[in-house]
Homo-oligomer: A and B are copies of this chain.
Amino acid sequence: MKAHVPPFLSVKPALLTTALLATFTMGAAFAQAATEMPSGEHASADVDITQPIKAIDKLESLKNEQKLSLSIPKFQHFTTSNGVPVIFVQTKQLPIVDVDLRFNAGSARDESIRKQGFGLASMVADLLTKGTRDLDETAFAEATEQLGIELSSAAYKDQFVVNLRSLSDAEHLDPALSLMSSIITQPRFDAQVLERSKAQQVLALKQMMQNPSYLASTTFSQTLYGSHPYAHSPYGTQQSIPALTRNDLQKFHDTYFVAQNATLSLTGDLSLSQAKQAAEAITQALPQGKPAPKLPNPTPIKQSKWVHVDYDSDQTSVMIGQQGYRIDPSAKGIQRGTDFSIGNEVLAGSGFSSRLMGKVRKELGYTYGIYGSMTPMQAPGPYTIRFSTRNEKADEAIAATLQTVNDTLKQGITAQEFKLTQESLINSYPMGFASNAGINGMLGVLNFNKLPDSYITDYINRVEGARIDQVNTALRDTLTPDKFIIVTVGKPDIAKKSQLQKLK
């Protein structure tokens, strides 16, 4: 794990341009370093008062606007000689390439290698970029720095992602691809480095256990998923990390870092044939192996439950939610996802005009922000509403939240909310294509989840073509507030008097 360094202090070679400029941009903020929040960042806007009628007219007129013209980049598909599916988007503005290699191997696979081996995938991610069979940590870092590349790996619950960004000319790209290939096929897993990383991870976990948001998250996962692999944190625990061995890391690697378990995405200044060569260079040394087995279904939650964690603070952190849905690449599944996301945007989106914001923030003033979101995964992912509030108001804020969800499901969203949300989703869609990394991330997601191109290319059509009744149905079919798990992290004396005691 990496010590937290604010971006403008972290002058990585590969980030130099940014750092160089950030020095000036953010310069004035140096004392806001580390974990400080940016000073007053807010997203919203207004109509020019010097011409209110004109401007408002324009907003109204958007309802009849012609269709947004957005040329979505062309997705090219091919398969490497050992069967890894590849998606490639050619971009020509810059001499760079972004690579996104994903394995179906996250922390959900930790226990497949070692019982209670929580944090294993995360430790593999940590060690992966710390040397290869032939190069120790230092030699490896020097090679990367000289090339000016960014090579990183990260483990999530469902996925293991390796990213590379490099210059696209062969002179730079070839050695960069060699480096990437060697970390995934011949990682060093140096015993000394592992011991250091384990010690750091334990220390980091100690600190995280003092963080109310982390406490809420881990408690929520455990309560929602019980014995399912999604129950535990990818970071592992202070107990599990010390037990991990080099052999565990190697076994995790050998099991999951195989062609049958991989997907690859490329974005950048390459021809199709160069992209094919690059894909071969990355994957050719991967053994065939087997795809990771399907994850089990979590045990459904039968009834609402409240779990409280004592924490000494004026604020209570609240997480409320349920098991949601899994990723469904069928046309029906994709449309349902879009329908639900429109409905949830009205109910719990981060927009200021969501119903939960309207009730819990604006009307009652219990919190500064309240947001709810669905995280589709391979097995049913979580739906989670989060906020924090003063300890004394936690009970009332939770009651108001549940009431708002119930009311929304019962009454449905209104035609006006529906239309506003449609417009807002469509108008903001093109922003996602404004960076190479953004585009490549989309490809990675598409590829890993075996989603059709239309998941991205037809998004605007799906939002435009959505019907309010189906949006309301998607909300009702998905959300089950009478079975919500509620987690609170806050003062014990307040919790003792809580109305939620009956759900314990």
Contacts and interface: CB of A to CB of B under 8 A. Distances in A.
Closest 10 A/B residue pairs (Cβ)? A17-B432, A148-B427, A34-B213, A40-B125, A48-B178, A28-B156, A28-B158, A435-B435, A28-B157, A141-B352
Contacts of A18: 431-432, 438
Contact of A42 (B126, B179, B234): B126
Contact of A39 (B19, B121, B432): B121
A272 B51 CA distance: 24
Contacts of A129: 42-45
B384 A217 contact: no
Contacts of A200: 368
In the complex, which of the residues A25, A40, A125, A386 has the most CB atoms of chain B within 10 Å of its own CB atom? A40
A386 B3 CA distance: 10
Nearest to A233: B31
Nearest to A377: B27
A75 interface: no
A373 B213 contact: no
A314 interface: yes
A174 interface: yes
B285 A50 contact: yes
A340 B27 CA distance: 16
A92 to B, nearest CB: 10
A155 B430 contact: no
In the complex, which of the residues A125, A137, A146, A425 has the most CB atoms of chain B within 10 Å of its own CB atom? A146
A421 B146 CA distance: 7
Contact of A146 (B17, B25, B68, B423): B423
Contacts of A246: none
A302 interface: no
B349 A11 contact: yes
Contact of A175 (B59, B68, B137, B175): B59
Nearest to A54: B178
Contacts of A141: 44, 351-353
A368 B42 contact: no
Interface stretch (A79-87, A203-211, A476-484): A203-211
